[in-house]
Structure 1
Amino acid sequence: MSETGRDEGVIKFELVHSYKNLAVNSQFVLLNDCRNFLHSQGLIGEYPDGIGFGNVSILADDRKSFLITGTQTGAKPALDQFDYTNVTQVDFTSHSVYSEGPLLPSSEAVTHAMIYRCSRAKSVIHIHSARLWQSFLKLAGREFEIAIVPESVPYGTVQMAENVAILLSDLQVYHGGIIVMAGHEDGILFFGDSIDEARNRLQYWRSVYFRARDR
């Protein structure tokens, strides 16, 4: 854990990883374009203590694997194929992740996997924004239907995945495309049927924030 007490970026699952290069395909191009845009907006990046934050993923067409940013890549303004990994299997019982690629997978890989398991989502965006996070925690349950994982649930754990699954049992949560992690400071998940839809949901909820702020 860092001196700040933040354990962002720490992998909390059993990992079976094979190092190999990944091919560049159309899914990679779409995902990487989105990731690099998010970095330019400050929604993916690195804290002053050197801990990276934020990640993105996209599900394969056969829904058997997903491509995700590698761990601790947040500082890089632009990524390439050597900064991603392919998650081929997640065992939720043993909290084990099987992956292959040049880097180890993001510490939030299990949460991404649970979203894919419990919904028809094909892409997940995990950003950090103190302003959005604080605002959505206040707006939830008032004017807007914003799904919240309780503050007592730490990121990257079985408990986080289980809570996400419970939330996604409500179709309204999927259609809203947002989950705020109260116990994961600044952390927000957006998801959708495609990378474009996940990104559009992020943009929609950002517009909600600006309207609420300017009232």
Structure 2
Amino acid sequence: MNTNRDEGVIKFKLTLKRAPAPEMNQVIALEKWRALFFKLALIGEYPIDKIGYGNLSSRIGKKTFIITGSQTGHLAHLQAHHYSKVIECDLKKGSVTAEGLIPPSSESLTHYGMYEANPNINYVFHVHHQKLWEMMCNGPFDYISDDVPYGTQAMAEAASQLMGTKTSGIFVMKGHEDGIISYGATPEEAGKIILELYRKLAVRQ
């Protein structure tokens, strides 16, 4: 597998419009799950490289969403200004336009591709866990092949093709080391899928 670690690097063309941060009530549900994932090291920072990993988003419009800011993985708790509002994406051009005080996550294109493909999805959670990733790579789970690099138009297109009409699910990115994405109509749907697999893995060990 091609598992080169280069997370956190924004690979799309970004236009960041300086604007007030999202309202705190818009990020409360995301922050609840992010804080839990941080405690479980499903979101965090690789200590040697000092590169953050993991990101969460919630849909606020047909094609607009709020997402954790780039390189915030080292923070246990985020404030509203650590989130960014993505207002426009173009998969063909590989461009993202966002509003806020901080650049959006490097996986913003992937989140957009999923939201665009399925109107039933309102939350997308991207976490990292080596053993969980290995288990999913070798199990009966939806996946994106190991020749698709993270944060690219190809990744966004591959993720969108997995959506179908499902309201919730989870898949593994074989070419993005440790990377797992869940999605759901509610934050509970997206979050509980990850927790259930995490607990099953804990029982095995």
TM-score normalised by length of structure 2: 0.92
Q: 1:88 to 1:205 in 2, by over 3 A?
A: same
**8 Å CA contact retained: 1:65, 1:89:** yes
Residue 9 of structure 2 aligns with which residue? Answer: 10
Q: Which residue of 2 aligns with 1:47?
A: 46
Q: What is the deviation of 1:194?
A: 1.2
Deviation at 1:85, TM superposition (A): 0.3
Code of the aligned partner of 1:147: D
Identity %: 38
Helix, strand or coil at the partner of 1:139: coil
**2:5–2:176 CA contact under 8 A, matched in 1:** no
Query: 1:180, 1:188 → 2: CA distance?
Result: 5
Question: What CA deviation, in whole Å up to 9, does each residue of 1:32-63 have, x standing for no partner?
Answer: 12111111111000002100000000001x32
- 1:102-153 deviations in whole A, cap 9, x for unaligned? 100000000001111112110010000001000111112xxxxx10100011
TM-score (norm 1): 0.88
Task: Provide the C-alpha distance between the structure 2 equivalents of 1:134 and 1:207, rounded to a whole number of angstroms.
Answer: 15
Give 1:24's aligned amino acid: E
2:116 is paired with a residue whose SS is: helix
Which residue is equivalent to 2:179?
Answer: 187
In structure 2, how many angstroms separate the alpha carbons of the residues matched to 1:100 and 1:14? 14
Provide the aligned C-alpha RMSD in A: 1.5
Q: Is 1:148 the counterpart of 2:140 in the alignment?
A: no
Q: Which moved more, 1:63-72 or 1:99-108?
A: 63-72
Spell out the pairing of 1:97-112 with structure 2 (5 A cutoff).
97-112=96-111
Tell me what 2:158 maps to.
163
Matches within 5 A, 1:1-215: 6-48=5-47, 49-60=49-60, 62-119=61-118, 120-140=120-140, 146-169=141-164, 171=165, 174=166, 177-210=169-202, 213=204
Relative to 1, partners in 2 of residues 1:204 and 1:175: Cα closer, same or farther, differing over 3 Å?
A: farther
Q: Take 1:30 and 1:183, find their aligned partners in 2: how far apart are those partners?
A: 29
Q: Is the 8 A contact 2:22 2:100 kept in 1?
A: no
| Runs of 5+ unmatched residues, structure 1 | 141-145
> Which amino acid in 1 is paired with 2:111?
H
- Tell me how far apart the structure 2 counterparts of residues 208 and 176 of structure 1 sit (CA, whole Å): 19
Aligned length: 200
The aligned amino acid for 2:179 is G
Report the CA distance between 1:162 and its aligned residue: 1.3
SS in 2 for 1:152: coil
1:43 and 1:128 map into 2 onto residues whose CA distance is 5
2:55–2:67 CA contact under 8 A, matched in 1:
yes
Equivalent AA in structure 2 for residue 151 of structure 1: D
Tell me how far 1:176 sits from its aligned partner.
5.6
Checking the alignment, whether the CA contact within 8 Å between 1:136 and 1:209 is kept in structure 2 is: no
Distance in 1 (alpha carbons) for counterparts of 2:200 and 2:161: 25
Determine helix, strand or coil for the equivalent of 2:132.
Answer: helix
What is the CA–CA distance in structure 2 between the aligned matches of 1:200 and 1:186, rounded to whole Å? Answer: 18
Q: Which runs of 5+ in 2 are unaligned?
A: none
